[in-house]
Each structure stands twice: as structure tokens, then as C-alpha cells.
């Protein structure tokens, strides 16, 4: 039994006439009658009684009509789902992200993606940056968001935003009301730093800002990986911290954020994925992420960074859909 036989039978049953069914199917009536007889022979049951007024279903025919409609619907649905999956409109996408990505960078990308691809099932997992890289390698996630730098030739890495670094101070600190602060003014104070993990990330951005100011931070609370916790410790008077300005989106009583005079002090958020782009859904997500509009941030703000030029001798891979070059992995520290 072929699918076309079921389509022929459904047309006959619904039109209640071989003549009208043949016209609907754009075939001649004799071949349609022959196909009906072939189907009845194959099933070993009479499906249609021919009358002067047309055709009438037998009990067996009524059973087949119900099942044939179900089968044809499922076949059409499977074909549609396959077409949509091939175009990146349906499927599953697993993303890993550091908590800071949810402050400013990630929400507009997710809104646009869900608006354009509502049938895609998103699985979002908050995790440490080293976990993101590990799970990209073992294919447990499709893409991840974390702070640069990273040097991993197996991944495509693209900058998605530059987040200005600001100084987090206890509200009672003498510099809390300053319009801006030079890091050298707090060189001798206790610092709370994010962990380094197995990749430099935000730790390097903060320590390099201090090195440019001419000092090595005196760390009293190392390895505090959640920005909310770092700011909470600052509010509790445990020390000061240099944090991305997007952290100000979640205010904390007892803590004050002051811009730094070093305008080059930034934390660069990046999106990473494996060099082989596995699914059309991931391609669709990369297109949305690459074209995400500028998002204003507080006190210096978050701004999408320009696409970085590849390292000498390395060609930057093109994003799917012609969205432009991606940043090569191996960002200088």
C-alpha cells in the first residue's frame, strides 16, 4: 500500500464520487477506479459501494478513512517539520552562559531569537566559563557566552559586547561620591577578585587594569565567581572590586559604582561555538546574535564591539548567513 493509494481513497470518500474525485486529483476516472480495486484487493476488503448516486463507504472503508487521514496528516507534519528543521526554524539549542551575560547582553538576543523562531526549544544553563568551554568540547552545549580572553583554536570566538569596568566601593568609602576614580588612588586597598579558572577571562581584564595603573592588587577575597556575591562582599565592607558596568543593572544596598578614569578598561563578552556548525538552528542563533542591536548600559555601558581583525596569517571564519567575519580564537591576553 502506497501513500498515493491512501490519498486517492480519501478523495473518493470525501467527494462520494469517482468522477469528482478524479477531477480533484487531476487524473482520469478509469485509472482511479483501477487503483481503488488494487487497494481493495491488497487489503482483502470492499471499501466502497458504487451506487447510482455515487459511492458509499462500507464499514471497512469508514475505518480506513479515519486511519488514512491520521497517517496522511502525520506524513505531512513530518515533512513540514523536516523542512523547518532544515531552515533552522525548529529543533533544540543548548546554551551555556556566565551569570553576567544575563544582565545586558543575552536578554535582547533571546527575545529576538524567540520572536523569530518560536518553535525552537532553548535549554539555557548558567555555568562557570571553564565549564562552558569543557561542555562545548564534549558537545553538551551548542554555544556559550563568557568574558575574553581565551586561547582555544578548536573554537570560533566572536566578541559580542565591550563592558566598561567600574570600581565597586562600599557606600561609606571616602571615594564613593567621586565622579570618577583613578585606580592608583586605591592601590593599597583590599581587593575582591574573580577566579582565574583554566582560562584568563575577567580575572585578566581586572588585573591588567591594575597593572596599567602601576600596582598589583592586594587580594583579600579571591575566587568569588558570582558578580552578585562580589558586590555583596563590597557592600559588607570586605574590600573593593573592579567589575563590569553591567553589574549595576542589579543594584545592591551598601555598594556604590564609580567610573574609572582609564577609559580602555573593559571586559569583553564573547560568544563561542565549535568550529563545525552542527545544526541549522545554531546557524539561525548565530545570525541573531551577530546582528543584535546596541544595548545601552549604565555608567559607561555595554556596547557591541567591532569585529576584530584576525591574527596575522589567520582568516576569520564567516558567520552563517553572511553576517560578517567572526573574531579569531586566540585573543591576545
Tens digit of each residue's pLDDT (9 = 90 or more) over 215-272: 999 999 777 878 888 999 999 999 999 999 888 887 889 999 999 998 787 888 999 9
Higher-scoring residue by pLDDT: 32, 181: 181
Tens digit of each residue's pLDDT (9 = 90 or more) over 110-119: 999 999 989 8
pLDDT of 81: 57
Domain boundaries along the sequence of the chain: 3-86, 92-333
How many other CB atoms are found less than 10 A from the CB of residue 174? 9
The answer, yes or no, to whether the previous bond of 149 is cis (omega within 30 of 0) is yes
Fold that domain 3-86 belongs to in CATH: Arc Repressor Mutant, subunit A (1.10.10)
Cα dihedral 153, 156, 162, 164 sign: negative
Class of domain 92-333: alpha beta
Supply the angle between the helices 3-15 and 18-25 in degrees, to the nearest 10: 130
Q: Which helix H or strand E contains 266, and what residues bound it? A: strand 266-274
Max Cα separation, the chain?
Answer: 103
Percentage of the chain surpassing pLDDT 70? 83
Domains 3-86 and 92-333 share a fold: no
Amino acid at each position: 500500500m502506497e501513500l498515493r493509494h491512501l490519498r486517492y481513497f480519501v478523495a473518493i470518500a470525501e467527494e462520494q464520487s469517482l468522477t469528482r474525485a478524479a477531477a480533484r486529483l487531476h487524473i482520469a476516472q478509469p485509472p482511479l477506479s483501477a487503483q481503488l480495486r488494487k487497494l481493495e484487493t491488497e487489503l482483502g476488503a470492499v471499501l466502497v459501494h458504487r451506487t447510482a448516486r455515487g459511492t458509499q463507504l462500507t464499514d471497512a472503508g469508514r475505518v480506513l478513512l479515519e486511519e488514512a487521514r491520521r497517517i496522511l496528516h502525520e506524513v505531512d507534519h513530518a515533512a513540514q517539520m523536516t523542512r523547518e528543521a532544515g531552515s533552522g526554524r525548529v529543533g533544540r539549542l543548548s546554551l551555556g552562559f556566565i551569570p553576567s551575560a544575563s544582565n545586558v547582553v543575552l536578554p535582547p538576543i533571546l527575545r529576538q531569537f524567540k520572536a523569530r523562531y518560536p518553535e525552537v526549544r532553548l535549554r539555557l544553563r548558567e555555568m562557570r566559563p571553564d565549564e562552558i568551554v569543557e561542555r562545548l568540547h564534549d558537545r553538551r552545549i551548542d554555544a556559550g557566552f563568557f568574558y575574553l580572553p581565551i586561547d582555544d583554536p578548536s573554537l570560533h570566538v566572536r566578541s559580542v559586547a565591550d563592558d566598561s569596568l567600574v570600581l565597586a566601593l562600599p557606600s561609606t568609602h571616602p571615594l564613593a561620591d567621586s565622579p570618577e576614580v583613578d585606580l592608583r588612588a586605591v592601590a593599597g586597598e583590599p581587593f575582591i577578585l574573580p577566579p582565574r579558572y583554566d582560562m584568563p577571562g575577567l580575572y585578566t581584564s581586572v588585573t591588567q587594569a591594575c597593572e596599567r595603573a602601576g600596582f598589583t592588587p592586594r587580594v583579600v577575597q579571591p575566587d568569588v565567581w558570582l558578580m552578585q556575591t562580589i558586590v555583596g562582599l563590597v557592600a559588607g565592607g570586605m574590600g573593593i572590586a573592579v567589575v563590569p558596568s553591567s553589574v549595576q543593572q542589579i543594584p545592591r544596598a551598601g555598594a556604590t559604582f564609580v567610573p574609572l578614569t582609564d577609559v580602555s578598561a573593559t571586559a569583553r563578552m564573547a560568544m563561542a561555538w565549535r568550529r563545525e556548525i552542527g545544526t541549522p538552528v545554531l546557524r539561525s542563533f548565530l545570525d541573531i546574535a551577530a546582528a543584535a542591536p546596541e544595548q545601552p548600559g549604565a555608567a559607561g555601558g555595554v556596547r557591541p564591539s567591532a569585529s576584530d581583525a584576525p591574527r596575522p596569517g589567520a582568516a576569520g571564519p564567516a558567520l552563517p548567513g553572511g553576517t560578517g567575519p567572526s573574531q579569531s580564537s586566540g585573543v591576545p591576553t
